Structure 1
Amino acid sequence: MNRKVVLIITFLLIIVACKPTIDNSSTTVKIIPFGEKPGLLRQPYLQMASPTGITITWKTTAITKNCYVEFQEKNQFAKTVVKGNIVNHEGNILNEVALINLKPSTTYYYNIYSNGHLLASGLEYYFTSAPNNNKTAFSFYALGDIGAEEKSSFASEPASRIKELEKKPDFGLGLGDIVYPKGESKNYDNHLFKPFQEVFKNTPFYPVTGNHDWLSDPEKNFEKEWHLPGNEHYYSYTYSNTLFIGLDSSNGNFYKVEEQISWLKNTLEVNKNKYDWIIVYLHHNGKSCTYKEDYEHVKALYKIFANNGVDLVLNGHAHTYERLKPFDFEGNVDASIKNQNQYTNLKNRFISITIGAGGKIEKKWKVNINDPKNCPDGTIVAHSEHVPSFGLISINGRKLNFEGINSLTGKKFDDFSITK
Structure 2
Amino acid sequence: MNNNITILKRFAISIGTLSLLFLACNSTNQLKKNSEKTTITEVIGIKPDLIREPYLQKVRKDSTIITWKTNGIAKNCYVSITERATKSNSIIKGYLTPHEGFMFNEVAISGLKPNTIYNYSIYSNGHLLAGGTDYYFKTAPKDKNSPFSFYALGDIGAKEQGSFAMEPANRITELAIKPDFGLGLGDIVYPKGESKNYDNHLFKPFKDVFKNIPFYPVAGNHDWLSVNHDENFKKEWNLPNKEYYYTFSYANTLFIGLDSRDGNFYDYEHQTVWLKKTLSENKGKFDWIVVYLHHNGKSCTYKQDYEHVISLYDVFASYNVDLVLNGHAHTYERLKPYDANGNIDSSQNNHSIYENLENQFISITIGAGGKINKKWEPNPNNNKNCDDGTIVAHSEHVASFGLISIDKKTLSFKGINSFTGDAFDEFIIKK
Kept in 1, the 8 Å contact 2:324–2:363? The answer is yes
Of 134, 155, 178, the residue aligned with 1:168 is 178
What is the match of residue 95 of structure 1? 105
Of 351, 365, 368, the residue aligned with 2:376 is 365
Kept in 2, the 8 Å contact 1:111–1:125? The answer is yes
What is the match of residue 307 of structure 2? 296
Shift of 1:123: 1.2
Tell me the amino acid that sits aligned with residue 210 of structure 1.
G
SS, match of residue 118 in structure 1: strand
1: CA distance between counterparts of 2:28 and 2:390? 47
What is the match of residue 13 of structure 1? 39
Q: Is 1:403 equivalent to 2:403 in the alignment?
A: no
After TM superposition, the structure 1 = structure 2 runs for residues 345-360 of structure 1, keeping only pairs within 5 Å, are: 345-360=356-371
Q: Is 1:54 equivalent to 2:64 in the alignment?
A: yes
Q: Is 1:177 equivalent to 2:187 in the alignment?
A: yes
Kept in 1, the 8 Å contact 2:28–2:95? The answer is no
With the length of structure 2 as denominator, give the TM-score of the two structures.
0.92
RMSD of aligned residue pairs (Cα, Å): 1.3
What is the match of residue 252 of structure 2? 241
Of 168, 183, 203, the residue aligned with 1:193 is 203
Shift of 1:136: 0.4
What is the match of residue 266 of structure 1? 277
Q: Deviations over 1:287-318 (max 9, x none)?
A: 00000000001000000000001000000000
Shift of 1:264: 0.1
Kept in 1, the 8 Å contact 2:318–2:359? The answer is yes
2: CA distance between counterparts of 1:42 and 1:401? 34
2: CA distance between counterparts of 1:61 and 1:387? 38
Kept in 2, the 8 Å contact 1:63–1:91? The answer is no
Of 153, 159, 163, the residue aligned with 2:169 is 159
Give the number of the structure whose residues are more often helix, by fraction.
2
With the length of structure 1 as denominator, give the TM-score of the two structures.
0.94
Kept in 1, the 8 Å contact 2:53–2:69? The answer is yes
Q: Is 1:315 equivalent to 2:341 in the alignment?
A: no
Shift of 1:90: 2.6
What is the match of residue 284 of structure 1? 295
Tell me the amino acid that sits aligned with residue 378 of structure 1.
G
Gaps of 5+ in 2: 1-26
Q: Deviations over 1:336-390 (max 9, x none)?
A: 1110010000010000000000000000012111111112100000000000000
Gaps of 5+ in 1: 17-32
Question: Residue 79 and residue 9 in structure 1: after superposition, are their counterparts in 2 closer, same or farther (change >3 A)?
Answer: farther
What is the match of residue 19 of structure 1? none
What is the match of residue 239 of structure 2? 228
Tell me the amino acid that sits aligned with residue 3 of structure 1.
N
SS, match of residue 95 in structure 1: strand
SS, match of residue 360 in structure 1: coil
Kept in 1, the 8 Å contact 2:156–2:202? The answer is yes
1: CA distance between counterparts of 2:85 and 2:257? 36
What is the match of residue 275 of structure 1? 286
- The higher radius of gyration belongs to 2
What is the match of residue 10 of structure 2? none
What is the match of residue 149 of structure 1? 159
SS, match of residue 56 in structure 1: strand
2: CA distance between counterparts of 1:290 and 1:264? 27
Shift of 1:246: 0.1
Q: Is 1:3 equivalent to 2:13 in the alignment?
A: no
2: CA distance between counterparts of 1:15 and 1:162? 34
Kept in 1, the 8 Å contact 2:400–2:416? The answer is yes
What is the match of residue 111 of structure 1? 121
Q: Deviations over 1:32-73 (max 9, x none)?
A: x94210111100000011100000000012231100000010
Number of residues paired by the alignment?
403
Greater displacement, 73-82 / 165-174: 73-82
Shift of 1:252: 2.8
